[in-house]
Amino acid sequence: MRAYSRRLAFELSLLNLMDGEVRLDTLKRIGLDVSDVLRGKEASDLRLPEQAASPVGAYVKVLGPAALVRGLLESEAGDFAPSEAHCFSLSLWPHLYWVVNRATDGRSWGVGFQHQGRIMLGELEPDHIQPMLWTRDAIHSVADDHAIFDGWEESIVERLHFGSREYEGAFVFGLLQRWRRVG
């Protein structure tokens, strides 16, 4: 039986929550199979989504020190202001951070994927948006508007508008799983 580091077990438990096709594509790319995901899920020190709001220290224990800690603006933190974002690097998603926001009272909130930098595009062809590369926040920054269509917390389906075109995106912890034009 293969042994997993805490980090890999956590990342495989995250992968277990992803859309089936996305999960299988990722597993094929990294040379693992579905049984590895299930064993990683069982070996993970953090159970997701149940323990997503665990203290930042629990994430440090699993993922090591945050790659970046930054204060959040009041517009980002809302009722949780002041807060800071603890951004952890992941090996399966090296272009993204796993972000755990921490309020001053120690509570964690807004846990999920975010891009490591701002998306700055002059023009975007929404048909080219691809799962596993885009986050919900990044798509919001380039869409004309958006609204939740279905879901709650870690799994959300949104309708997003780009001019007169409407798209539907399915997200798990803010990471795009499926993307299609609906109007």
Query: pTM of the prediction?
Result: 0.91
Q: Strand pairing partners for 108?
A: 102
pLDDT tens sequence across 153-173: 799 999 999 999 999 999 999
Distance CA 69, CA 53 (A): 17
| CA 102 to chain CA centroid, nearest Å | 16
CA angle 75, 76, 80 (to 5 degrees): 95
List pLDDT tens digits, range 33-74.
888 888 888 889 999 999 999 999 999 999 999 999 999 999
